[in-house]
Structure 1
Amino acid sequence: MTGSSMSDQPQMSDQTALDRVLADYRTAFEPTWSDTDSLEQVRFCVLDCETTGLDPKRHRIVSIGAIAITEGEIDLSDRLEVLLRVRFNTAATLVHGITRSETEHALDEPDALSALLGYLGDGVIVGHHISHDLAMIDAALARHTDDRLQNRHLDTGQLMLALLDDGAFGAEPGLDDLSLDGLCRFFGIVPHDRHTAPGDAFLTALVLLRLLRVAARSGRNTLAALLRQPAPQADPKG
C-alpha cells in the first residue's frame, strides 16, 4: 500500500475505504472474547506509536508498529508496520528519527487507520503506557469518523504493578524502574530498535510473554483476571 496524493478526490477515496473497514471492524466484536477465555485463546495485539508530540489534540501519529501474541507465542507472520506522512519536523524527530522528507510517499491518515483497524479486529491491544497510543489513535479517528477504538486494552506497566501487588515476584523483586527499559532489564531482555514503533512493539511483546507466564502461575489465567486491577487500598485516615 502506498500513500495517496494530496488532491481532494484521493482523500475522498481514502475516506470511503476507511468507512468500509470500520464496518468490518465493528462486526469483528459480534461476538468477541469472553471474560472466561484462557490467555492462550486470546489474540493480543502489542502496539506502539511514534508521534510528533504528546498532545493528541495538536500532534499526529508518525508510525505504528504491532505484533500479535497467540497461544502464548509471538506470531511473526501477524504483524503490522505503518508509516504516515509527516507535515513538518518536531522536537520528537530527534527521538524517533523519522523526518518529513522520509515520509513523502507514506500513507495519509485515513489509509493508515484503515490498515490499523483491519489488522486489529477484536484483538486485545497491549502496550507500555498504552493510554497515550490509544488517545492518539482515537484523536485520529475523530478527525475522520464518529468512531473510537472498541478493543479491550492492557498496559504492561499496570500489569507489572498488579502482579507485584499479588506478590507474584516475591517480597522484594528488586525492581525500581517500571519503564520499558526497566522491565527489559528486569527480565533480561536486550533492548533493540528502541524508539521505533516496530522495535518497541516487539520489546513490549517479549515483556508481555514473561508477564503472561507469571500471571498464569499466580492465578490470573483468564482474560478477566489478567485485566483486573488491584483493589484500591483503604485510606488509613478514613
Structure 2
Amino acid sequence: MKQLLSNLLKNRDVHQSEIDFYSNKEGLDSDSFIEYLRLRGLDIIRRDDTYHLGIFKTTIKNQLFCIVDIESNGPDPQKHSIIEIGAIKYQNGKIIDKFSSLVHSNVVPKMVNEVTGIGIDDLLDAPSLNKVLNEFRLFLGDAVFVAHSAKWDYKFLSHSFENCNLEHMFNHKLCTLNLARRYIEAPKHGLRTLNEVLNIDVNHHRAYDDAYSAMKVLEYCFDKIDCEQTTDLLISNRLASKIES
C-alpha cells in the first residue's frame, strides 16, 4: 500500500494491474478498493487503464476544498477530545455545503468555556464523537482539507479517528495561515487579526465561524493568484512569491 500511495503522490500513473494487486490484498474488488481510497481522502481519477490524483490535473478554480475548524477541551489529542467541528465545502467561489456539530463531552475546562462559550450543558445531549466523526468523514470525502494552522487540526482529527477505530485520513491539506503570511499584509496572521483586517464579522472561537473566517482568507488569497494553475502547485507552495514588505 505504501508504494501505491508513493506513486500516486509523486504524480505517477498507476496501472490497473497495480490496483488489482492491492485490492486483492485488501480482499476487495478493484472498484470497491478505489471507493475505499476515496473515502479515506484520495481524489483518485481513472483514465482508461490508469489512475492518478486529481490535484495534478484539477485547477485551483475547479478544486473542491473543505475548510475545517475544530474546538477541543485541551491542546493534546492524546489527552483531550474534540467538542465541536465546523466545516464548509467550497468550489468555484461558492459554498457548496456546510457541516456543524457539537460533540458529547463531560469535560469543559473553565478556560475553554470562557474562550468558546461552550459549556457542559451544551454537550451533555450532543452526539458521540464516533457518530460525529463518521458523519464528518462522509462530508469531507476526497476534498482538499483546509484549516488555519492546518497541521494542528489535521493531527487532532487523525488521532481522534484512530482513537475511535476509524481509518486514517489521506486528504491533501492546505494551511490558510501560511497563505495569509504570503498574501495578506497584516501585523499578525491569526484569525482574530485577519477578521479585523478583512472585515469578517463572526463569533471567533466557534468551529463553524472560524471555518468561515478561514474560507474568507482563502478567497482573499485566491484573488492574488492565478487560479487556472493546478492544485498541486498551491499545496506544494510553488505559486507566487511572498509579498515584499
- 1:164-179 matches, within 5 Å, as 174-179=185-190
Contact 1:49 1:65 (C-alpha < 8 Å) held by counterparts = yes
Deviation at 1:178, TM superposition (A): 1.1
Structure 1 residue aligned with 2:141: 121
What do residues 150-204 of structure 1 show as CA deviations (whole Å, max 9, x unaligned)? Answer: 111111111223447xxxxxxxxx4221111222333x22331111101111111
Please list every run of 5 or more consecutive structure 1 residues that lacks an aligned counterpart in the other structure: 1-20, 165-173, 232-238
Amino acid at match of 1:140: S
How far apart are the structure 1 equivalents of 2:78 and 2:36? 22
Structure 1 residue aligned with 2:100: 81
Structure 1 residue aligned with 2:78: 57
How far apart are the structure 1 equivalents of 2:171 and 2:218? 17
How far apart are the structure 1 equivalents of 2:70 and 2:133? 12
Amino acid at match of 2:232: A
Structure 2 residue aligned with 1:18: none
Three-state SS of the structure 2 residue aligned to 1:203 is helix
Contact 2:144 2:171 (C-alpha < 8 Å) held by counterparts = yes
Contact 2:77 2:159 (C-alpha < 8 Å) held by counterparts = yes
Three-state SS of the structure 1 residue aligned to 2:225 is helix
Structure 1 residue aligned with 2:195: 184
Contact 2:41 2:172 (C-alpha < 8 Å) held by counterparts = no
What do residues 59-117 of structure 1 show as CA deviations (whole Å, max 9, x unaligned)? Answer: 10000000111112233xx0101110011221212111111222122111110110110
Three-state SS of the structure 1 residue aligned to 2:55 is coil
Please list every run of 5 or more consecutive structure 2 residues that lacks an aligned counterpart in the other structure: 1-34, 46-52, 240-245
How far apart are the structure 1 equivalents of 2:65 and 2:162? 24
TM-score between both structures, scaled by the size of structure 1: 0.75
Aligned mate of 1:221, from 218, 225, 229: 229
Aligned mate of 1:210, from 220, 225, 230: 220
Flag the structure with more relative contact order, 1 or 2, with Cα contacts below 8 A and sequence separation at least 6.
Answer: 1
Contact 1:162 1:230 (C-alpha < 8 Å) held by counterparts = no
Structure 1 residue aligned with 2:112: 92
Evaluate the alpha carbon distance shift between residue 142 and residue 151 of structure 1 in structure 2; reply closer, same or farther with a 3 A threshold. Answer: same
2:207 is aligned with 1:197: yes
- 1:100-111 matches, within 5 Å, as 100-111=120-131
Structure 1 residue aligned with 2:20: none
Task: State how many pairs are aligned.
Answer: 197
How far apart are the structure 2 equivalents of 1:27 and 1:211? 24
TM-score between both structures, scaled by the size of structure 2: 0.73
Aligned mate of 2:39, from 16, 25, 28: 25
How far apart are the structure 2 equivalents of 1:95 and 1:30? 40
What do residues 184-237 of structure 1 show as CA deviations (whole Å, max 9, x unaligned)? Answer: 333x223311111011111111111111121227xx832012112369xxxxxx
